[in-house]
Structures are given as C-alpha cells and as structure tokens.
Chains A and B, each alone.
Chain A
Amino acid sequence: MNTTPRRNRSRLLIETLIVVAIAIAMMTVVPGLLNAVGQSFRVGLLGRFMALAIAALGIDLIWGYTGILSLGHGLFFALGGYAFSMFLQLQPPPGATGLQLPDFLVLYGVTDLPWLWKPFESLPFTTIAIVLLPTIVAAILGYLVFRNRIRGVYFSILTQAALIVFFNFFNGQQKLINGTNGLKTDTTYLFGQVMSSPTMQANFYYLTIVLLALAYGFCRWLTSGRFGQLLIAIRDDEPRVRFTGYDPTVFKVLVFAVSAGLAGIAGALYTVQSGIITPKAMDIAFSIEMVIWVAVGGRGTLVGAVLGTLIVNFARSLLSEQYPAFWLFFQGALFLAVVTVLPDGFVGWFKTNIPELVRQLTSKTKISTYPSLENNPDLDYERQVVSDRKSDR
C-alpha cells in the first residue's frame, strides 16, 4: 500500500476504537433503547443474529475472499451447537451433585453415559471442542478435496453431500443424541443458574458481542497483509499462484478450517440463546441462507458480512411477524435483487457510490486515476525517458 506504516497504525487504532465503541454501545445503549420502546424480545434476537454474524464472517473468508463457495457450513455450525449443548445437558441442577444423565437418555432406558458424551463433562474440553471439532472436520474434508484440485461447483456439491451425511447421522441416532428432537439447552443449568434466566441470557448476549468483535478483528488481521492478498490471488487465478511457488492447498485448507471454527463458535452461541439445537441446523436451506447474508451485505467486505446478517435476519423476523407466509418469497426476491442490481451487496454499493455522491454534494473534483493517468503528459514523458534509457543500454 502507498501509506506509511505510521499512517497505517493510526488508521488501525481508529478502526479498533470504532469497533470497541460499537461493541460498548451494543452492550449498553441498544438494550436500554429496545427495552424503553417495549421491544425487549428484540434484544434476544439481536444476540442471536450477532452469533450468526460470526458464522457469516467465516463464510466471507472462504467465499468472499478466497472464492470457494461452501454450501455446507450448517454442519460446522451444528457441531459447535451440539458440543456446547451436550456439555450443558450433563450439568447438575442446583442441589444435585455427581453425574447427570440427560433426560432423554433415561427415557430410552440408557443407564450408562455413552462414550461420545464422556469428554463433554469437562468445560475446558467443551470450549476447545466448540472451535476445534468443526475446524478438524473441515481441515480433513478440505485437505482431501483441495489436494485433488476439486473446485467450483464440485466443491459446493461436496460440501452439501457432507452436510447430508452428518444430517442423517444426527437425525438417526435417537439413543445417542436424541435424533430429530435435538438437544434442549434452555432448561439446563450452568454454574447453578438455569440457562433461560434473564441474567444468563444477558451474559451470553455480552459474550456474543465480545466474540463477534474479536472474530472481526481476527478476520481483519487475516485478510490484511500478504496472507489476505494471497487469498484474493487464489480467487483470481489459482494456477498462477501455484506457478509463483505457493502451494494453494495449504492456504485453502487453513481458510476453510478457520471459517468452520467461526461457524462452530456461532453455533454454540446461537444454540444457548435460542434454547435448542436440532439436526435442522444442518438443513441445506440454512447453509444457503448464510451465503445469502454475505451476498446481501457485500462479499469480500467483513463489515458487509456482519451487516448483511443483521439486515436479512431482522427483515425476516419483522416480515414473518406481519405476513408469516411471505418471508420465503421475500428472501428469494432479495437474493435475486442483490445478484442482479447490487452484485457487490449493500456495502459494495456504498463503497462505489458514496464517494461519488459526496463529490457531487461538495462539488470538489476528485481525480479519478485511470483515464487521467493515460492522458498525463508528465507520465508519458517519464515512460519515454525510461524506454529511451532501456534502448540506450
């Protein structure tokens, strides 16, 4: 970039301050405002949607920057959600101690905790598993696929296939993870408090904001600098990257794994705020919706991923309240409109049109670089000198 390091640093500082300010506002002012206008339940919705925004950031990394369209991120989302709710299921209610067998297992007549559940008795393990489980699954899947240079539509179809495999597994295992019914979290306890209590929900609301801000910062770090440039380079021309000496496979596996980890975090946070995780999280439609959020907000811009998620989901909840049958049509129309009218999403549109608008309003002529460079006599002269010097040698 043409900016000096010092200017870059002050820019970074400003951006950090803005993110922190927004985060604090979301924690303090926004819930207060919503409560004041009698829309308290929207605070809960906001928390959930911000959890989804973390997954959208991951989609943006893999699709917006690297150009790999994953239609199976619901899988990673569900893995995170299941990991956390399995832990919660095992937590004893206040007063009780010792091993707590989940209700549904008792119902099925299971007396011993299945092996799959054993590790989830530990909070540290669960916390790590929420991130690492999806990451590892994605890394394995990604390695196998990317190593064989499977790209484009074929990759998208493979992610859907993986999604269906896991969906059927989760759906079919009644005695292991309660099959179709999923795992409820809102009646479980954490640190002696029931999960659906306002304090608990408020805590997770704050936690979601903090993690969303951290995830944003992390993605920002990943996409700036050489690594970010390389992701864009892979999107633009992967064979060229290869012939320049980089191995695209490792980069793609890493990005895919990171985005899966983010989806896992999102899944865990979303689950505890909505009260249940079921195999429906691995619906194909849900995974495609994640892509729509990013497309609406503007792919390749991290802010766009977050905004798109919030816009689409609030539009959905507002519209479904008024016209319950209407939402799917609207979502389809929104997607079509974005693809045809705003190919770069809302943020992309703002980026290209707002500077123009500002220029018109302030009527300051800003030099648009390309054509004027072509007509710039100084530059022509410089080029002439350079080429003359070349032929002199």
Chain B
Amino acid sequence: MSGKLLAIENLTVSFDGFKALNNLTFSMDPGELRVIIGPNGAGKTTFLDTITGKTKPTQGTVHFKGQNLAKFKEHTIAKMGIGRKFQTPRVYLNLSVRENMGLAYNQQKSLLKTLFPKSNGGEKDDIAQLLEIVGLLGKANSPASLLAHGEKQRLEIGMLVAQSPDLLLVDEPVAGLTDEETEKVGNLLIQLAKKHSILVIEHDMEFVRQIAQKVTVLHEGSVLCEGTMDEVQSDRRVIDVYLGNQED
C-alpha cells in the first residue's frame, strides 16, 4: 500500500449492531482532489469521523502515510497531517478572525510551547496572505461571531489550510451558501488542490461538477462506484440509489 496517502481496508463501523460503514475499501493518492457523494445515511460523516479518530473502527484498518491510525487520538492524528472542516462552520466565535487563524497556524501545539511561544517571524505575513486568499483580510480584527455564514465557512477553510495538513477533509463546504459564495468556495478548493490532497464530501451536484476530478459514491456504508463525474452519473446503480431516495 506504499505510495497511497490514505488507504482504508475492509472498514466496518457499527453502532449497536447498525453498520454505518460496511466493509468499505478506499484509497487516495497524494495530490488528489476527491469528492465523495451519497444519499443521506450513506455513512459519509462516519467515514470522516473514522479517519480523524473520532470514531474507532469496529473492523478493518485506516492507514495514513503508511501508519495505522487505530491507536491514535484525534489531536495526534491532526498533528500527523489530517485537517478537518466540519459540516456546520465551527470557528472560535469569541476570538478575532486573525486569532482563529493563528491558533490553527501554530505548529507547536504542546502545553509549554503555547505558554512560552517562540516568535515566528513569518507568521503574520503568512496569515495575512491566507486571509487574502479566503477574502477575509478586511475583517481580520473583527470577532468571528460577527461573520456571515459564508464567511465563517471560508474562515474555517482558511484555518484548515493554515494548519497545513497533508490531507484536507472537507465536509459539505457549501451547505447553506448562496450560488455566488458556492462558486467562490469551489474556486478556493480548486486552487488549494494544487498544493494539497483534498477529500470533499458534498451533496450539491452542481458544485461537485465544478470541482471534481474523481468521484466516489457511497451507499449504505460501502463504495458503490468510483470514476469521473460523467461516468458516475451514467452509472445505472447510482441513478437507482438517487432516484429511489428521491421517491421516498
């Protein structure tokens, strides 16, 4: 499995007998921008939870850069290079935009290093640059609680990048955004994909079409099919799953 950034084998996660993920096998190469789609209850969020260590696998393994993640806690996995953006924007509301970015940017996350930080000359410029990319430089000093929903989404993506992980997990980045904002976020992700490996979970088909190179369809906890957007959309099983879901 060497060479794969993320390799998941026969992953099963069950909650009291209910299998949220069922014998799922998945892998990702470094530098890829992958989109995962699937109807409600397909196990998309559980999938991310398992990669980030929030949920432990019942069976199977998750390897990141060749290391089995089973025994690590969330913060260790985050330090190994997996960053995560949540479905609803989650930023620190009582801190300013810049402070939010600073906490993510800081690479020395131990207690002592936080109490006695060594000044990092590049930090200010780097953060300003990132804020410009996500379009929040003008609001750097206002508290995050004053941001609009879309701005919070972009701030959280900015924080994710500031953390400079090797793999970005992005859960429904455009939920609740206007069309214009959706396009902005899409462009942002495409731009980021040049330097990072990104795994996006999304419902919005328009958006998926905008950014996706390769799409994986989840259904009932397993991979249904994989391919380009066109391949996936013409796949009989995918149409059945989605149409069946719509009729419910």
Binding site for B on A (CB under 8 A): 1-2, 222, 225-227, 229-230, 232-233, 235-237, 239-248, 250-251, 254, 369-370, 373, 376, 379, 382-383, 386-387, 390-391, 393
Contact = CB atoms under 8 A, between A and B. Distances in A.
Nearest to B139: A373
Interface residues of B, number: 44
Contacts of B54: 239
Main secondary structure of the interface of B (DSSP, over half): helix
A390 B191 contact: yes
Given A226-B106, A243-B78, A393-B191, A373 B114 contact: no
Contacts of A229: 92, 95, 99, 102-103
B187 interface: yes
Interface string B154-171: 000001000100000000
Given A370-B146, A382-B138, A393-B191, A233 B103 contact: yes
A390 B188 contact: yes
Contact of A244 (B98, B104, B191): B104
A326 to B, nearest CB: 37
B135 A244 contact: no
B212 to A, nearest CB: 18
B117 A226 contact: yes
Nearest to A229: B99
Interface stretch (B17-25, B57-65, B82-90, B234-242): B82-90
B78 A236 contact: no
Nearest to A374: B148
Contact of A245 (B93, B95, B163): B163
Given A229-B99, A240-B86, A247 B73 contact: yes
Contacts of B195: none
Contacts of B95: 229, 232-233, 236
B83 A243 contact: yes
Q: Which of B90, B109, B114, B133 has the most CB of A within 10 A?
A: B114
Given A240-B86, A242-B75, A373 B94 contact: no
Main secondary structure of the interface of A (DSSP, over half): helix
Given A229-B92, A245-B78, 9 more contacts: A1-B141, A2-B141, A233-B95, A244-B103, A244-B163, A247-B109, A251-B114, A382-B137, A383-B135
A247 B75 contact: yes
B74 interface: yes
A247 B187 CA distance: 33
B75 A246 contact: yes
Q: Which of B95, B138, B139 has the most CB of A within 10 A?
A: B138
Given A227-B115, A245-B75, A370-B142, A237 B90 contact: yes
Given A243-B52, A254-B111, A370-B146, A233 B106 contact: no
A90 B159 CA distance: 58
Contacts of A225: 117
Given A225-B117, A226-B103, A251-B111, A236 B159 contact: no
Contacts of A235: 94
Interface string B188-205: 100100000000000000
A242 B74 contact: yes
17 contacts: A1-B98, A2-B98, A2-B141, A233-B95, A236-B94, A240-B86, A242-B74, A242-B78, A244-B103, A244-B104, A245-B75, A245-B78, A245-B79, A245-B109, A247-B109, A369-B142, A390-B191
